[in-house]
Amino acid sequence: MAREFAYQAVYRYLVALIDEAERGGQPRLPSLRALSRRLRVSLATVQAAYSLLEREGRVQSVPKSGYFAQVGVQAGRADAVQALPARPLLERALFAHERRLGRLRARPARVLGGPRLRDALAERYTQSSRQYWRPEDVHLGPDVQALLETLLQALALRGSTVLVTSPCCWRILRALQRCDMRVLEVALDADGSPDIGSLSRLLGCEPVRMVIVPSCLGTPVGRLMPARDQQQIADLLAVHPVWLLENDLDSELCFSGPPNSRLRHWVDPRWLLVLGSLEATVGGEAPYAYLLGRHMALTEAFAQRAFQLAPMRQQALAQMITSGEVDEHLGRMRVALRERMEQLCQHLRRVLGAQVNFDMPEGGCALWVRLSPTMVGAQAVAATADSALQVLEGEQFSLHGRHRQFLALSWLGEQPGVLIEALERLACALALDAIRR
């Protein structure tokens, strides 16, 4: 199988099976192990492809029965904004570690040592005697949605009221929907901070059980939250003790490096939960999500779910974290992301001019642009389909119809000429839409 992202090839294979089911074929899909053997890829790779199809609503996982095609559902493009440029160097390093560990395991006289993934993540997040984490405080899941569903079940939050900053990561929103949560939204301002007045009012008059706020980098607007605003949020939460779920999915992608001040540094650790993922750093071969939280109910819930995560891959990832390989790669990735974003902004200004308004973000891989009141984003999404420019409507980052005048742009290709061609298609679509309206 070609060494692109392996899970993308598995994804296409499964889409073909789903298409057969649409035409009257077998709706039941191969098991993880069967597909792993058939396509000669790892279980984690197959799990990543299935997880993506589940998020798109094209596959349903039935406990003790397997995976089934959801006939009549079309694939969405919401994953585009989460994608990053290919990371072959880090993925090759991951496979090299796995092969070495496999050889060691095959020798009876040798004992595998080194930290496990939970130990490595706990050490990575520990900052001081107050901000410390133990390996038992780290909970792993196959992806963000499965992890969030387990969290909400463990803390008896399903069906309750949750307050999120908006725009919000679409994966978090979909998980909240699936758990029948009542979602309230507080808008992020131009500095990437929530409206403190609205946050205070809603905490005072609504039965909020959990607040979900970015760690430091607003998603997908790419603005860093000032430390003074983090402290104001912490002061509010001290008056209204509710669970704080800190969204740490993208904070490693700050162009100037992760800031010293994070929201978690200001709040009561007893009410703190931190959500992160290895996918943004390592890629599709490491789709695992993790949760940091000290409540005993979390340990019990994750033990009952018993997620099957490849132990050799966990060991390899742990070694890459503790050896510094991940941090070295992140340094290179931030430089590359900044350069790509600067190129995207430069070409966008030249091709679209005054058709859109935007500011260079401070991190992430998406550029948040504002359309004029006479434009809508649907035509832009259709015009750039299958191009080097992935376009998402702002509404996908809200459950209440917010951000209709925004688009999230992500350049996933490598050639500037292909990007310019995609931007020209985008400009034509927006101009035609303005004329029609």
Structure confidence by residue, pLDDT tens digits, 362-412: 998 899 999 876 566 677 777 777 778 888 888 889 999 899 889 999 887
Token pair listed for 155 = 């803390």
The candidate with the shortest Cα–Cα distance to 132, out of 315, 253, 272, is: 272
Range among 38-52, 101-115, 125-139 rated most confident:
125-139
Mean pLDDT of the chain: 83
Tell me if 387 sits within 8 A of 425, measured CB to CB.
yes
Tell me if 291 sits within 8 A of 141, measured CB to CB.
yes
Give me the mean pLDDT over the 119-147 stretch: 90
Which carries the bigger pLDDT value, residue 294 or residue 188? 294
| Residue 278 sits in the same domain as residue 378 | no
Give the distance, in angstroms, between the CA of residue 192 and the centroid of all CA atoms in the same chain. Answer: 18
| Residue 124 sits in the same domain as residue 145 | yes
Token pair listed for 414 = 């490598």
The DSSP H or E segment spanning 417 is: helix 416-436
Check residue 75 and give its pLDDT. Answer: 47
The proportion of the chain whose per-residue pLDDT surpasses 70, expressed as a percent, equals 87
| Residue 356 sits in the same domain as residue 298 | no
Domain-embedded: residue 397: yes
Number of domains observed in the structure of the chain: 3
| Residue 267 sits in the same domain as residue 356 | no
Q: What is the pLDDT of residues 163-188, one digit of tens each?
A: 999 999 888 998 999 899 999 999 88
Residues whose CB falls within 8 Å of the CB of residue 336, separated by 6 or more in sequence, listed in order: 85
Tell me if 159 sits within 8 A of 179, measured CB to CB.
yes
Q: Give the SS3 label for residue 413.
A: coil
Domain-embedded: residue 333: no
| Residue 198 sits in the same domain as residue 284 | yes
Tell me if 265 sits within 8 A of 251, measured CB to CB.
no
Q: How far is CA 420 from CA 22, 68, 405, 414, in A?
A: 37, 40, 22, 11
Token pair listed for 75 = 């694939």
Residues whose CB falls within 8 Å of the CB of residue 225, separated by 6 or more in sequence, listed in order: 191, 192, 193, 214, 216, 217, 218, 263
| Residue 157 sits in the same domain as residue 255 | yes
| Residue 153 sits in the same domain as residue 227 | yes
Q: Report CA dihedral (48, 52, 57, 58) to the nearest 10 degrees.
A: -70
Q: Give the SS3 label for residue 245.
A: strand
| Residue 302 sits in the same domain as residue 354 | no
What single letter denotes the amino acid at residue 367? Answer: L
* Residue 81 pLDDT exceeds 70: no
Q: What is the pLDDT of residues 278-289, one digit of tens each?
A: 887 887 778 889
Domain-embedded: residue 93: no
> How many CB atoms are located within 10 Å of the residue 359 CB?
14
What single letter denotes the amino acid at residue 395? Answer: E
| Residue 121 sits in the same domain as residue 256 | yes
Q: What is the pLDDT of residues 98-126, one digit of tens each?
A: 888 877 765 544 333 345 899 999 999 99
Quote the Cα angle for 161-163-169, to 5°: 120
Tell me if 293 sits within 8 A of 272, measured CB to CB.
yes
Of 303, 325, 347, which closes a domain? 325
Give me the mean pLDDT over the 117-140 stretch: 90
Cα–Cα distance between 433 and 317 in angstroms, integer? 47
Count of all residues that appear for the chain in the document: 437
For the ranges 23-37, 45-59, 108-122, 261-275, the lowest mean pLDDT is seen at 108-122
Q: Give residue 239's pLDDT band: very low, low, confident or very high (50, 70, 90).
A: very high
User: For the domain that residue 253 is a member of, what is the CATH number?
Assistant: 3.40.640.10
R_g of the chain computed on alpha carbons: 22
Q: Report CA dihedral (300, 174, 217, 244) to the nearest 10 degrees.
A: -40
| Residue 138 sits in the same domain as residue 26 | no
Check residue 221 and give its pLDDT. Answer: 86
| Residue 125 sits in the same domain as residue 201 | yes
User: For the domain that residue 71 is a member of, what is the CATH number?
Assistant: 1.10.10.10
Of 300, 325, 350, which closes a domain? 325
Q: Is the peptide bond before 108 cis (omega within 30 degrees of 0)?
A: no
Domain-embedded: residue 59: yes
> How many CB atoms are located within 10 Å of the residue 140 CB?
18
Q: Report CA dihedral (155, 161, 162, 167) to the nearest 10 degrees.
A: 150
| Residue 224 sits in the same domain as residue 285 | yes
Cα–Cα distance between 61 and 68 in angstroms, integer? 6
Domain-embedded: residue 229: yes
Tell me if 269 sits within 8 A of 131, measured CB to CB.
yes
Domain-embedded: residue 330: no
Token pair listed for 408 = 């999230």
For the ranges 51-65, 203-217, 269-283, 349-363, the lowest mean pLDDT is seen at 51-65
Give me the mean pLDDT over the 314-333 stretch: 90
Domain-embedded: residue 111: no
User: For the domain that residue 424 is a member of, what is the CATH number?
Assistant: 3.90.1150.10
* Residue 130 pLDDT exceeds 80: no
* Residue 318 pLDDT exceeds 50: yes
The candidate with the shortest Cα–Cα distance to 188, out of 230, 221, 226, is: 221
Domain-embedded: residue 47: yes
Of 325, 356, 383, which closes a domain? 325
* Residue 210 pLDDT exceeds 80: yes
The DSSP H or E segment spanning 342 is: helix 325-352
User: Which residue range(s) make up the domain with 51?
Assistant: 6-76
